[in-house]
Chain A
């Protein structure tokens, strides 16, 4: 299909503005740009058709199954969108007088208290724009804590090799040296490796629990105790919070600060580039280092993003939490875990689970043996699934599993869907044995076929 710029025709315009009924005033010359901005010119009909055409090429959770592991692509209830669309929320300016923003501030306060309860933290900021930004903010809290105590020898952050790539990236961006520790045979933190890595130079540990292979680390209390004993702090990556809401709290596991991907766990449509919200919670002793928002009128602004962050994502999260309530939130996690185990059981005769035991909200398949047998890779299977009308799982992550496919069905899928999905996986696996070439070149029924990722990376055409 054409780009919006290719549809542009000079003179086509949107006539949404009423005629000018005040005196025309020229802007000061210093504020004028030298050339006209490159904006497409389209009529409203053309614009509407452009976006409708785009919409038809997109596959989202509203189209069907979307098991993109670690991304929590759950269905987002309409009521969350309706609340976020209320004019009182969408029409407000962050610098409006306090009397006009009372409702918005109430949303932030209530959302903070509920999320503090869910995470076991004492204080919270909503400024970070999404997960990685939340990590960055959280690790800066840790850094500020050590610096404020004059404990400047702590230069290292420990990260397990199963971590999301954002963890080591965050530690490095905060100026820390990243110490990678190998996972044990069971996919969890190897206590001996952790002990060997800890020392007077340890600033902290970054950990996801359940981890990226979908396993809850049974040694979590010992892990956080060891880090604290060495003088470090513990950072909880909330990427997998959907597995444990209302059952166990990062604060009770011994973590000192945490980020939560509100857009994932608390139902904001995501995956298209945002906006998200990486709310950061911390224990009371870290609270003095939290960013402070200008909107809340606190002295000593120290912000990681403008005003209160992506406020409407917080509105959706609050609506989601209040809708599900004290019974619904833990039930959502239970169902997410049940669905993952049900699907893993349905798939284990087809592909080998990387860790064949009870999982949490997601699990990883290891297609190494299947690839040896058929020559068909995890990538080929993922592309083949597209032709059967479902979104592929996450591929080649975590790095500790070769030929990995990582599935997170979420709580919003029915048993019937999970049965259908297992059947589709079976068909694709059989197809790979009968006609591997078909899968090497899949997808065949999508709007575009197999993109040449290698050519795109080696010789990208950045501008036509």
Chain B
């Protein structure tokens, strides 16, 4: 039943949804917002990459990674290293004791470019590294964890610990990484000044296009057999395994995809904001990124984008007017989304607005729209091995 519905929604209504989103971020925002606000939206959209990845691996795969900041950060750092090298040409760094290397290295008595920095002089390598480095790390983590059938909660905590370790490492090795300040003062990309308003606008569109591309890839994955298997695994992993599928490989794959998406977001963040710092790698931002997906709807790729936009917009507005209230609001949001709107905005849309729309437009459809919307309305099982569509009471009496 799921597969037909997926094709159904992914096909027509999903197409409309995608068009609406594309129109919003490609036409409405650029026309309605000044360059300052547009740049802010661009920054929010880079978080949406992470949220889209989380929809894939958490909403559909049941893998809740609390360390997506790792990948966002790695992607961002790869890009930042390239930009920093370009900004550190011998001419503009001539006051240093060793001209031609990044300023923070000079402050830390490093006299030549470390080996692992050198490939980042090549733009091609950098583009490859942005996607490949995080994906390889995700592969290693995934191989270790999923092949040995590490449970969901363990996995979450272990990803958290990895995020903590990486933060400590980056901060500790400041001669190589810029430390707690991060890599700042990035200027040009292949000679093109990324700080001007025109550049920001172009980068905004590149970012938006990449995001839409990621959503399409996500759609493609979910519409394939893999998507159905993922959901089956999330709900009854053992049965999928007994049916002869290699459950771990699927999990690893979707985790790697989510990591690559996050990394692209990170790289675009660096380009648009002009710096990268370890504060994106840690535990707190990683969990915040989960809430973007949760608010948008953990089962909806498009919802994730709206979630990232709304939460960040709320953050900006709230912290401008009521800095004191912001944390209450954010905390309340976590609780409310989990308790009352487990499907987030997308769930609300499906259960209310789309019903109304469907009644308006498709009165003669054989399948009642209410029933059509139902699967998305069910709270998704967030842990493998549970079926949340079954009320808790009922489950308790099922051994």
**A and B: interacting chains:** no
* Interface residues, chain B, with chain A CB atoms under 8 Å away: none
* Interface residues, chain A, with chain B CB atoms under 8 Å away: none
